[in-house]
C-alpha cells in the first residue's frame, strides 16, 4: 500500500463504528503496510491502530497488539541494519544518529510491552510497594498496582504512582485512618479495576483522563464497562416504555360535566370491563377538582 491508500484506510478507520468494519480495515492494513520510520510518521497509522487496543472486542485487541509488535520489530531491524553499515571512523556520529533514530521510532509507534507475557504485579515488575509503615496501606497499593497493570504496557513507575495516588486519596477521604470504610472502598475500586471486560477504566486512569481524586468519587455505575452501561440503559428504556404502555391513554373533553364542581374540563378513558357484547365503561376525572366517576 502507498501513502495515499494508507491515509485513506486510516481515515475510514477513524470513522468506523461497528466491529466488523474495524476488523476488515485492520486486516487490510496488517497485510498491506510495509512499515518504515518515514511511512509511520507521515501516515500516523500506528497511532490510529493503537486507539483500538482497548476495544471490548478480543479479536480487535489481538490483531492490534500483533500489528504494533510486528511493525515495531520491523522498524527496529531496519535501524539496526543501518547502524551496522556505518563505518568505524564515524562511530561517535553513529551513536548520536542511532539515538535520534531510536527516538524517532518511539514517536512513530506507541509503546510496546517490555515485560513478560504473564500477569504483571509488583513482584514480577521488580517494584517495591513498601512505601508506608502501615502494612494495610502497602497491601492496598500493591493490589491497585496489580489491577491497573492488567493488559497494560505502561511503565512500572507510572503505574505505581497512579496506584499510590488512588490509595492516598482514599486515605485522606477517611480522615487519615484505616477504617472499615477505607478497606471497603479499596476493595471495591480494586475489583472494578481488575475486571478484564473493563479495559477502558484502566486506560482512562493511566492516561490521565480521570484523576485519582475524581475516580474515588465515582459510583459503581460510573465505573461499569461500556457494554454493561449500554445494556443497563437499554433495559431502563425498555422498562420505561413498558411502564408508559401500561398507563391508560386519556383524552380531555368538554362533553361531560362534573357533578361536584360543575366544570366541563374532564379527562376520560374507556375500557371493556364486562362481556364483549356489552358497551365500554367510561372512566372520568374532573381536571378542576379531581372528582372521579364512571358510566356505561
What ranges do the domains of the chain cover?
3-108, 135-229, 251-295
pLDDT for the residue numbered 43: 84
pLDDT tens per residue, range 168-222: 999 999 999 999 999 999 999 999 999 888 888 999 899 898 999 999 998 877 8
State the architecture of 251-295 in CATH terms: Single Sheet (2.20)
Question: Could you tell me whether strands 292-295 and 266-271 are parallel, antiparallel, or unpaired per DSSP bridges?
Answer: unpaired
The span from the CA of 279 to the CA of 296, in Å, is 6
Statement: residue 127 has pLDDT above 80: yes
Q: In what order do the strands lie in the sheet with 292-295?
A: 251-253, 266-271, 281-286, 292-295
pTM (two decimals): 0.45
For 47-60, what is each residue's pLDDT tens digit?
A: 888 888 878 888 88
Annotation: CATH topology of 3-108? Transcription Elongation Factor S-II; Chain A (1.20.930)
Whether the pLDDT of residue 265 is over 50: the answer is yes
pLDDT at 112: 43
Residue 138 CB burial class (10 angstroms; 0-12, 13-18, ≥19): middle
- pLDDT bracket for residue 90 (50, 70, 90): low
Amino acid at each position: 500500500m502507498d501513502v495515499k491508500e494508507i491515509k485513506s484506510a486510516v481515515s475510514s478507520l477513524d470513522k468506523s463504528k461497528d466491529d466488523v468494519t474495524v476488523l476488515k480495515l485492520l486486516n487490510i492494513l496488517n497485510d498491506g503496510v510495509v512499515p518504515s520510520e518515514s511511512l509511520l510518521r507521515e501516515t500516523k497509522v500506528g497511532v490510529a491502530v493503537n486507539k483500538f487496543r482497548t476495544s471490548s472486542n478480543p479479536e480487535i485487541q489481538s490483531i492490534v497488539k500483533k500489528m504494533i509488535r510486528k511493525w515495531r520489530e520491523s522498524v527496529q531491524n531496519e535501524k539496526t541494519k543501518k547502524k551496522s553499515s556505518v563505518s568505524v571512523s564515524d562511530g561517535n556520529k553513529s551513536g548520536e544518529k542511532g539515538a535520534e533514530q531510536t527516538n524517532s521510532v518511539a514517536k512513530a509507534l506507541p509503546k510496546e510491552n517490555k515485560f513478560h507475557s504473564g500477569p504483571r504485579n509488583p513482584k514480577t515488575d521488580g517494584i517495591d510497594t513498601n512505601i508506608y509503615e502501615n502494612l494495610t496501606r502497602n497491601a492496598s497499593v500493591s493490589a491497585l498496582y496489580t489491577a491497573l497493570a492488567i493488559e497494560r504496557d505502561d511503565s512500572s513507575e507510572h503505574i505505581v504512582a497512579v496506584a499510590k495516588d488512588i490509595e492516598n486519596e482514599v486515605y485522606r477521604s477517611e480522615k487519615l485512618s484505616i477504617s472499615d470504610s477505607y478497606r471497603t472502598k479499596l476493595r471495591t475500586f480494586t475489583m472494578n479495576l481488575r475486571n478484564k471486560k473493563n479495559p477502558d477504566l484502566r486506560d482512562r486512569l493511566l492516561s490521565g483522563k480521570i484523576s485519582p481524586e475524581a475516580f474515588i468519587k465515582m459510583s459503581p455505575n460510573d465505573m461499569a464497562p461500556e457494554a454493561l452501561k449500554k445494556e443497563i440503559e437499554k433495559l431502563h428504556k425498555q422498562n420505561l416504555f413498558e411502564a408508559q404502555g401500561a398507563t391508560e391513554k386519556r383524552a380531555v373533553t368538554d362533553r361531560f360535566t362534573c357533578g361536584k364542581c360543575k366544570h366541563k374540563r374532564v379527562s376520560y378513558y374507556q375500557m371493556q370491563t364486562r362481556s364483549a357484547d356489552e358497551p365500554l365503561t367510561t372512566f372520568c376525572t374532573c381536571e378542576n377538582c379531581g372528582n372521579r366517576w364512571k358510566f356505561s
